[in-house]
Structure 1
Amino acid sequence: MADIEIAELKDIFVGELAEHGHWIVANLDTGISWPVEQQKYTYQDTDFFLLPITKESYPAVALKKGDETDQEARSRILRFLSAMSWSEGSGVIVPFFTGGNLPRPMGREKSFGLTITRDLNLTYLPEPAEDRGRVALALMREGRGLNHPAYAFLSFYRVLEAALPDGRARGEWVATNLERIFDRQGQEALEKLKATGVVDLGGHLYRSGRQAIAHAAAVPIINPDDASDYERLQGELPIMRGLAELAIEEVLGIKTRHTIWKEHLYELAGFKERLGPALVQGALDEIEPPEGATVDLPHIDVELRRSDPFTALKGMVPVHVSQQGKMMQLVYRSPDELVEMVFVLDFGEERLRFEWDRNIYGRDDGSAQAAIYAAELTRFIRDYVGNGELHIYDAKSRNLLSRVDAFIPTNYWANHEALNEQIMRWTEEAAHRVIAHQHEDVQEGAP
């Protein structure tokens, strides 16, 4: 992480962030590690910009306003933040909105205590179809971001109310699902609460938590000056957070990032959409396509997250498709046929299979281009086994076809120094070949 540097505020206004317009900026108080690089995400047909964090300003998200009102633009940002908060599992509070002809964040001096990352991986941003799902995500974002146990507790309970509006049904659901909280802190807090002798756990959370926080006309009442009330709510807060997470996922059907990771449907999602349901179902049923059938496959760009693009792996062309059981093998080549990659779509396991040590080849025809490709393929291997995340895009539309999480190679130790030397040797070889070919051209042209 030594190569991550925090920019100065004056240097972040580059590219699209330097374009004048009517900008709305949400300045954030968040526990999310914030990127030091500009990022752009399209969510619900709107482009949002994550402004790089600086020591002079708040982390922020900006939107270049169109025909909508300022209030509508702010609401769009808040919905984006709620989706991002859910995906990242951390709270986001907006202390202030700013705006102007450039996306200027609110200034502050903060030289220490910054939690940073090079970039955020927001490939999963939920888009709830119903209002109660959107409200639940907003309340979850708020509850996770509040630094006050009573108000955070109330926000989490309101998530349950959004997911389960009927009080009786909500009480029954809580009683049935308390033991299913998957958050470890929530599980530990639940065991501590049981140890106090409380029998009706759901009723306790409602009466001594939700009601006692929201009302002061009758006991029990949460007294802000009573340290025991503060400590009790602080201790029971993980239970409510766990119940809120469970309700959003299981009642409202909005998956957590952990569930998305466990299912890993993103590995084949784009390819399955392109191939179509009939062909995919045929593979699952182990029925091979009829002889002579055409399989519509796109040209692809193969990339690694956080690595510079690989020229050798851009615009790769499908040249062969075969099926064995529930698996479909795809062979791709570079347009000049110097590089070949093999991928296997494992429909039964919802996996994209790619063996880095045997499924990528480079052909050396003696050209400078082949040497350049050899350097790039070595860099690809170095970065891939070094915590690389594989991304495959449709070369024309740039839609993400597949994403494969980073992995730890077995029985292999990556010697980065040796790989870097190999990259340098191939780069030098490419330069030598250019000179040699130029010399040959001169000799051929001599009288």
Structure 2
Amino acid sequence: MTAPYIPHYFGEAVERKLRSRMGWLTAGVASSVPWPKDDVWVRYDGEDYIIRGTEQNGKPSPPCISVACDRVNVDDALSKVYRFTSIIGWFNGGYVDVSGYTHGSHPILYGDPRNVFSTIGVFGKKAFDCNHMPLVRDENTRKALAFYREGRRLQHVHDSYAFLSFYKVIESQFADGRQKGAWIDANLDALTDNTAARVAELRANGLDVGMHLFESGRCAVAHATAGKDIVDPDIPSDRRRLSADLDVIAGLARLYILKELQVPDAHESYRVRDRLEPWSNLMDSRTLQELREGKVPATVDGLQGQKVAVGLWPDGAVPGLEDMTMHVDAIGPGVVRVVLFNPRLTICLVFVLDFKNGRIHTQLEDGSMCQTDKVQPDETDVRAYATYFHRVIGNAVAELAIGGLEPVDCEVVIPVNIIPQNPDTAIEEAVERFRQSKAGQ
């Protein structure tokens, strides 16, 4: 499934966007995923979404999502928000669900404190991240995610309806009930932890687990026919049984979306996504295949001399590092070590491209400021290098962009045996030391 680079914009860019048109719909949401403190504008699948932060002008604010909306297309705009909340909740391992909305000429916030809330906040100006969230364009997948969103929202609120929503994730994908049952039976052993324990318990009691989930769960919740099994809200044992089975059907629903519909969440995306895929067309197919197989190709000419902008997500290129030139330093089994130089050859940055595993690593310890008798770093160089170094060592994500291709993101640097300084302070101290050294010459 396609999971493209998703631009994120903060601060004044968001304000300009909100002032750029008349006509907005704002949906208040209930969220169990980390929510930003400040507004964030993301562009996902060609559409603009403004994630409204939990703080506005220093005061608490309801979590909302604003989208462009003409007066006659309210339902279309609201449906777009529903679809977006489904995928953003799934991707982040929780739920985001619309609790109400308002629309008008301006992006008015919607707030009902009983139903619009975020159970987890995000601290930091630019901590919100839904980059590489998969695009959902298949109708069956959209429905499955919608039912999953309902189920997650209802968990710990109403077990019966949560169970029914999770069951519908799977049921909605089959026209033949026997095929649905066969899939459930075939995948029960793929469940882990407490869900596997519940399956083992049911089997130990001599139950057909798939049939039990259907009759004592799905049908008993959905129907209340006289003389038939139902989930009686006044019978504690009925409620306990359904609550115990809820984890099983929730686990199966999640497994179906991951395995059968192949929609990765953030953890799965991190595990399987090939960071270097945007650069695959820079080399001939044979060279790329050899690298991915862990072999040593004769050359990687497609990388040599490439112009690279070195940036920090989500801000883009670091001033002073926008025009680096790539030089191939070494080639190993499936990996290429490259060195980037700025035009004046006063900044050197080193990266290892691991094509076999689809990763790119920044080698902070090998980068440096450079000087010769003829060329020495200036203050712009010092600030650029210090910004890159101290922010990356402070866990910022470095990214490299070549031309109009999607940026490739580096693995986060985990400092060992050091306590990183505050990046802002460290950068200014580096610049001040440079100024003092120049003044003393």
Residue-by-residue CA offset, 1:40-60 (whole Å, 9 max, x unaligned): 222221111111113654211
Contact 1:378 1:423 in 2 (8 A): yes
Alpha-carbon spacing, 1:279–1:42, altered in 2? closer, same or farther (3 Å): farther
Match of 1:260 among 243, 252, 269: 269
- Aligned residue for 2:5? none
- Aligned residue for 2:415? 409
Using structure 2 for the length normalisation, give the TM-score: 0.83
Contact 2:29 2:117 in 1 (8 A): no
Alpha-carbon spacing, 1:327–1:12, altered in 2? closer, same or farther (3 Å): closer
Q: Report SS of the residue matched to 2:381.
A: helix
Deviation at 1:150, TM superposition (A): 1.0
- 2:131 partner amino acid: T
- Aligned residue for 2:432? 428
Deviates more, 1:49-58 or 1:302-311: 302-311
Match of 1:157 among 142, 162, 167: 167
Q: Distance in 1 between matches of 2:45 and 2:229?
A: 44
Deviates more, 1:26-35 or 1:302-311: 302-311
- Aligned residue for 1:363? 370
Alpha-carbon spacing, 1:297–1:194, altered in 2? closer, same or farther (3 Å): farther
Deviates more, 1:317-326 or 1:206-215: 317-326
Asked if 1:79 is matched to 2:79, the reply is: no
- 2:49 partner amino acid: F
Asked if 1:227 is matched to 2:231, the reply is: no
Alpha-carbon spacing, 1:222–1:112, altered in 2? closer, same or farther (3 Å): closer
- Superposition pairs for residues 331-410 of structure 1, below 5 Å? 331-358=339-366, 360-364=367-371, 370-394=378-402, 396-397=403-404, 399-410=405-416
Contact 2:307 2:325 in 1 (8 A): yes
Q: Report SS of the residue matched to 2:195.
A: helix
Contact 1:22 1:64 in 2 (8 A): yes
- Aligned residue for 1:34? 35
Q: Report SS of the residue matched to 2:262.
A: coil
- 2:256 partner amino acid: A
Asked if 1:170 is matched to 2:171, the reply is: no
Contact 1:299 1:318 in 2 (8 A): yes
Deviation at 1:425, TM superposition (A): 4.0
Residue-by-residue CA offset, 1:106-159 (whole Å, 9 max, x unaligned): 134599985211332111322234211111111111111123111111111011
Q: Distance in 1 between matches of 2:376 and 2:305?
A: 30
- 1:80 partner amino acid: F
- 2:369 partner amino acid: G
Q: Distance in 2 between matches of 1:421 and 1:52?
A: 27
Deviation at 1:296, TM superposition (A): 7.7
Alpha-carbon spacing, 1:20–1:380, altered in 2? closer, same or farther (3 Å): same
Q: Distance in 1 between matches of 2:308 and 2:362?
A: 15
Q: Distance in 1 between matches of 2:331 and 2:13?
A: 49
Q: Report SS of the residue matched to 1:313.
A: coil
Contact 1:372 1:426 in 2 (8 A): no
What percentage of residue pairs aligned between the two structures are identical?
Answer: 24
Q: Report SS of the residue matched to 1:35.
A: coil
Alpha-carbon spacing, 1:325–1:115, altered in 2? closer, same or farther (3 Å): closer
- 2:148 partner amino acid: M
Residue-by-residue CA offset, 1:300-329 (whole Å, 9 max, x unaligned): 332334789632322322244653332223
- 1:127 partner amino acid: L
Contact 1:385 1:414 in 2 (8 A): no
- Superposition pairs for residues 238-253 of structure 1, below 5 Å? 238-253=247-262
Q: Where does structure 1 lack aligned partners over 5 or more consecutive residues? A: 1-10, 438-447
Q: Report SS of the residue matched to 2:418.
A: coil
Alpha-carbon spacing, 1:246–1:106, altered in 2? closer, same or farther (3 Å): same
Q: Report SS of the residue matched to 1:34.
A: coil
- Aligned residue for 2:158? 148
Deviation at 1:362, TM superposition (A): 1.4
- 1:413 partner amino acid: I
Contact 1:35 1:120 in 2 (8 A): yes
- Aligned residue for 2:100? 96
- 1:202 partner amino acid: G
Q: Distance in 2 between matches of 1:103 and 1:250?
A: 38
Deviates more, 1:381-390 or 1:236-245: 381-390
Q: Distance in 2 between matches of 1:161 and 1:330?
A: 51
Q: Distance in 1 between matches of 2:304 and 2:166?
A: 47
- Aligned residue for 2:110? 106
Contact 1:368 1:434 in 2 (8 A): no
Residue-by-residue CA offset, 1:351-374 (whole Å, 9 max, x unaligned): 21322211x221146989534433
Deviates more, 1:268-277 or 1:327-336: 268-277
Match of 2:120 among 111, 115, 121: 115
Match of 2:67 among 63, 69, 77: 63
Q: Distance in 2 between matches of 1:290 and 1:357?
A: 26
Across the aligned residues of Structure 1 and Structure 2, the Cα RMSD in angstroms comes to 3.3
Q: Report SS of the residue matched to 1:341.
A: strand
Q: Distance in 2 between matches of 1:180 and 1:414?
A: 42
Alpha-carbon spacing, 1:61–1:310, altered in 2? closer, same or farther (3 Å): same
Number of equivalenced pairs: 418
- Aligned residue for 2:309? 301
Contact 2:282 2:303 in 1 (8 A): no
